[in-house]
Amino acid sequence: MILIVGAGLAGLSTAYHLSETPYRLYEREMEVGGLCRSYRKDGFTFDYTGHLLHFRQPQIKALVERLLAGKLQKHTRKSFIYSHRTYTEYPFQVNTHGLPPEVVRDCLMGFIATLTTPAAAVPSNDRSFKQWIVDNLGEGMARHFMLPFNEKLWQVPLDELTSDWVSWLVPKPELKDVISGALGIKDKAFGYNPSFQYPATDGIRVLPESFLPGITGLHQGWELMEVETKRRRAVFKHQASGDTRTEHYESLVSTIPVPELMRRCPDMPTHLKEGAEGLRWVSVYNLNMAVGREQVSDKHWLYFPEPEYPFYRIGFPMNFSPALGRSGCSSMYVEMSHRPSEQHSHEELLSRARSGMERAGILRSEDEIVVADVKDLRYAYVYFDRHRARALPTMLTELERRGIYSIGRYGAWEHTSMEDAIGQGKQLAERLQARGAEAVSA
């Protein structure tokens, strides 16, 4: 029997693709979706920060479009950076036109200097993220956007992070495109997400829910408490009743954060458990708000590199799905990173967010806030650092040797998207099924 822990997209997709193979899917919450959920409050629907669909894998795109047939809308990205009291289009590297001329000059001169050291641009876990930014994009772009933005997002000096994850998220542009962007010539779409899809109504929750008709054996409200890896036994506790249940398995697919999994496995070697405790990450406060004024912005989302603004990103859900709120109003998600050990009061966060948005000219002093709600996303962005590079592969290999497959964004401890979580679940289900078929025919 296959046990799956966590009914986020990775766990749901594993179950969905196992089809005929017996499995049980356990989820701690009373609803499925994990990070990819939405909730309603006072006439507004909010995600756990905006979750927009970008596809790079044709198979997963086709699957999602089939599951959500007739429910998705396609949008051309309207995302901007707000700095020097100016909006410039994302990505910064190819859109400096409109910034003060000295800033544009710094960006161009710095980028041109990188062209004589092309070897330095190769991402790796020996080169720090900070060094990669400077080597790849130049001193000017580093100083005016990449360093302040990323320091705010990651809440850690960037020379503590490695650069082995950056290549698809931060593409290096060509000189012609950097120059065109400085002169305001627009003849090309850039970045990994020039367009995106999103459900027309009800928020991103419709995506995880679309897997449910293809799934049996879902147990909600049950938290994984302990795994005896040698005897292949897992103990679950019901969140409401406190009842416990023990399951025996041949394979266990875990999509919960890998440090949480290792903490629940008392018989794993001590050095691997210590390695898991050393993995680091940043948490995000997700402030979901709405004001009683239409179209406070005409953009989809905005990035804020400057330290005077406490948030790194703000999105406007009603600009990609008007059905998500009350007419005559605007809703927004505001993202503020924090170290997992630091806590702030919700009142303080909301007040800092409001005054920041007034300083940026998004809100006016007379705007009435009609909804305000704060969610703390404990695991948001994992750190790629030297410790991760050393400790993670042996941890995952040893788990797998014991029949435990740790997948998904926090199971594999990586920066991956909804599409990747679905893809990993599919791939693993196919692998486990093929192995089951081999065992039967042997």
Ligand X SMILES: Cc1cc2nc3c(=O)[nH]c(=O)nc-3n(C[C@H](O)[C@H](O)[C@H](O)COP(=O)(O)OP(=O)(O)OC[C@H]3O[C@@H](n4cnc5c(N)ncnc54)[C@H](O)[C@@H]3O)c2cc1C
Q: Write out the residues near ligand X by the rule CB under 6 A.
A: 5-11, 26-29, 34-36, 49-52, 223-224, 255-256, 260, 284, 377, 380, 408-410, 416-419, 421
Question: To the nearest whole angstrom, how small is the minimum distance from the Cβ of residue 424 to ligand X?
Answer: 7
Whichever of 60 and 362 has its CB closer to ligand X, that residue is 60
Round to whole Å and give the CA distance between 379 and 73.
29
Task: Please compute Rg for the chain using Cα positions.
Answer: 23
Nearer to ligand X, 114 or 255 (CB): 255
Which CB sits closer to ligand X, 229 or 255? 255
Q: How far is the CB of 415 from ligand X (least distance, A)?
A: 8
Q: How far is the CB of 45 from ligand X (least distance, A)?
A: 16
What are the residues facing 236 on neighbouring strands? 224, 245
Token couple for 256? 């919960």
Taking the C-alpha atoms of residue 252 and residue 44, their distance in angstroms, rounded to an integer, is: 38
Report the alpha-carbon distance of residue 336 to residue 313 in Å, rounded.
8
Q: Which of 239, 235, 173, 299 is nearest to 29 (CA)?
A: 239
Q: How far is residue 276's CA from residue 258's CA, in Å, rounded to a whole number? A: 7
Minimum distance from CB of 77 to ligand X (Å)?
11
- Closest contact distance (angstroms) between CB of 430 and ligand X is 17
Distance CA 30, CA 7 (A): 10
Total residues found in the chain within this entry: 442
Shortest reach from residue 196's CB to ligand X, in Å: 8
In the bound state with ligand X, the residue whose beta carbon lies nearer, of 49 and 136, is 49
Q: How far is the CB of 115 from ligand X (least distance, A)?
A: 32
Nearer to ligand X, 47 or 306 (CB): 47
Q: How far is the CB of 236 from ligand X (least distance, A)?
A: 7
Q: With respect to ligand X, which residue has the nearer C-beta, 7 or 218?
A: 7
Q: What is the 3-state secondary structure (H, E, C) of 270-281?
A: HHHHHHHHCCCE
CB of 360 to ligand X, least distance (A): 20
Task: Find the DSSP H helices in 171-269.
Answer: 175-183, 206-210, 258-263
The burial of 346, by beta-carbon neighbours within 10 Å (0-12 exposed, 13-18 middle, 19 or more buried), is given as: middle
Q: Which tokens is 82 given?
A: 């707000």
b/e per residue 402-419 (b: at least 16 CB within 10 A):
eebbbbbbbbbbbebbbb
The single residue listed with the structure tokens 């050291």 is 117
Nearer to ligand X, 103 or 262 (CB): 262
* Residue (383 or 410) nearer to ligand X, CB: 410
Residue 433 near residue 262 (C-beta atoms within 8 A): no
What's CA 5's distance to the chain center, in Å? 19
| Comparison of 36 and 158: residue with beta carbon closer to ligand X | 36
Q: Which is nearer to ligand X, 111 or 165 (CB)?
A: 165
Segment (H or E) for 406 = strand 404-406
**Host H or E run for residue 222:** strand 222-228
Cβ neighbours for 111, distance < 8 A, ≥ 6 positions apart: 93, 137, 138, 140, 141, 175, 178
Find the shortest distance in angstroms from Cβ 313 to ligand X: 8
